[in-house]
Chain A
Amino acid sequence: MLTLADLGVLRDVREDDGRVTVTITPTYSGCPAMDEMRADLVDQLTAAGYADVEVRTVLHPAWTTDWISEDGLRKLADHGIAPPQRIGPRAVGPVPLNLEPPSRRVPCPRCGSARTTELSRFGSTACKALRRCEDCREPFEQIKEL
């Protein structure tokens, strides 16, 4: 199971006199799953016997795909979703313009072929791009580096 901790969305959990405070951060500003995540966290903690649960959201520092754990990357690939590359801290100064399709090779998570092409920079959710494998011909999703 891919967890919120694997995704780096879970930032902190504290227990203080029976009160649990969970801190999460959105992947994208408009991530439509945030309310669902909050509800699931409250549900799971309530089921585990914690009656007093608070879920806090932090915007800063902004989430990056570099926070996805090694386990998380592996689990994404296991589910047929190409994981993001590590990008490191962003350079200071203006964000460089990119006029070319991404140059990095994204191996097909199904057959492992390196011959894949980008169909769309934007996939079924904001965090994913859509690609296709030229060998097994299957489309697949890729978590974009952010």
Chain B
Amino acid sequence: MDNAYDGLTDAGEEKHWAFGTGFTAALAGVGRDIPAVDRDSLTAYCLMLGDDALVYSQRLAEWCSRAPELEEDVALANIALDLLGQARLLLSRAAEVEDAGRDEDALAYLRDERQFRNVRLVELDCGPGPGGDFGTTIARLLVFSTWRLAVFQRLVSSADPVLAAVAAKGVKELAYHRDHAAQWVLRLAGGTEYSRERIVAGLDKVWAFTEELFATHPIEAELDGVAVDPAAARAEFDQVIDTVLSAASLERPQTTQVAALAGQAGRDGIHTEAMGYLLAELQHIARSMPGAVW
């Protein structure tokens, strides 16, 4: 088409501007045998990895138009989009393995807080509003992407062909996210006294949720060969974080870890108070106008 704007005026044709007009299933046409494991467990595992990406992409998208510079608006939104893409694939896979008539939209919009299996790190309110700031946001991006990259590198050899393929693709994306965060940590730590204070405070805050990232969940233990035991990613995570902190002349935070509740945490649906507000915003339109398209 000669004029890009012509496409926008084809209101009657759904194939243009497909968003919100009925997504094509994210896994359309992907080859997808299901390994011989317990289906409920595999569904739960796909939700764990998918919910991490979905909830965190929602948090990152909040920064769009609010970041300290235009380039960073674009960067955080791009990272959010990569994670949303991973979330769509993983939730679609969860829906397919579950085989109970739900699709990725139902899983994203129609589950309640206790049914979300994301780690608590991703739901924290790190800004741009009064709940946080850019330093905390960068600190979380470093911790999250370093951890997820280490997990995904191992997930590449999963016996589930879809998880393996999602991981192989995700590894490349996450490497960009991690390097971006790491370079910002250096910039903030080596900037002014104030910027250094903010990244130190940010790292202190998010560090309280790191133990949870490496706690082996019973479902991960059960799905041997399919799931990754996050404890196995610990050494690599530590090494990368120490390299960044050392280049930034920062100490590793000593923050007290936020404990699990009677042994349960994000992976079991036990979340922080930030989660309900996040879901309210994420799910509001879909729930108040069921089946709406635009």
Q: Contacting B168 at CB < 8 Å: which of A39, A60, A98?
A: A60
- Whether A29 touches B28, Cβ cut-off 8 Å, given contacts A59-B162, A60-B164, is no
Chain B contact residues: over half helix, strand or loop, or mixed?
Answer: helix
Q: Tell whether, in the assembled complex, residue A28 and residue B23 are in contact, meaning their CB atoms are under 8 Å apart.
A: no
B102 contacts the other chain (Cβ, under 8 Å)?
no
B223 contacts the other chain (Cβ, under 8 Å)?
no
Q: Which of A36, A62, A101 has the most CB of B within 10 A?
A: A62
B278 contacts the other chain (Cβ, under 8 Å)?
no
CA distance A126 to B170 in the complex (A): 13
Interface residues on B, range: 35 or more
**Stretch of A1-9, A70-78, A106-114, A115-123 at the chain-chain interface:** A115-123
Q: Which residue of B lies closest to A95 (CB)?
A: B175
CA distance A57 to B236 in the complex (A): 33
Chain A contact residues: over half helix, strand or loop, or mixed?
Answer: loop
Q: Tell whether, in the assembled complex, residue B23 and residue A35 are in contact, meaning their CB atoms are under 8 Å apart.
A: yes
CA distance A4 to B232 in the complex (A): 39
- Whether A29 touches B75, Cβ cut-off 8 Å, given contacts A59-B166, A95-B175, is no
Interface residues of A in 11-39 (CB under 8 A from B): 23, 26, 28-32, 34-36, 38-39
CA distance A58 to B168 in the complex (A): 12
Q: Tell whether, in the assembled complex, residue A94 and residue B74 are in contact, meaning their CB atoms are under 8 Å apart.
A: no
Q: Tell whether, in the assembled complex, residue B175 and residue A57 are in contact, meaning their CB atoms are under 8 Å apart.
A: no
Q: Tell whether, in the assembled complex, residue A29 and residue B176 are in contact, meaning their CB atoms are under 8 Å apart.
A: no
CA distance A38 to B70 in the complex (A): 32
Q: Tell whether, in the assembled complex, residue A97 and residue B165 are in contact, meaning their CB atoms are under 8 Å apart.
A: no
Q: Which residues of A contact B164 (CB under 8 A)?
A: 60
B11 to chain A, nearest CB (A): 15
In the A-B complex, the 4 residue pairs with the closest CB atoms: A30-B85, A29-B85, A56-B29, A120-B71
Chain A residues engaging chain B, CB cutoff 8 angstroms: 23, 26, 28-32, 34-36, 38-39, 43, 54-64, 94-95, 97-99, 101, 119-126, 130, 144, 146
Instruction: Return 13 A-B CB contacts under 8 Å, by A number.
Output: A28-B82, A35-B24, A57-B28, A59-B89, A60-B168, A61-B168, A62-B165, A63-B169, A95-B175, A97-B244, A120-B74, A123-B74, A125-B78
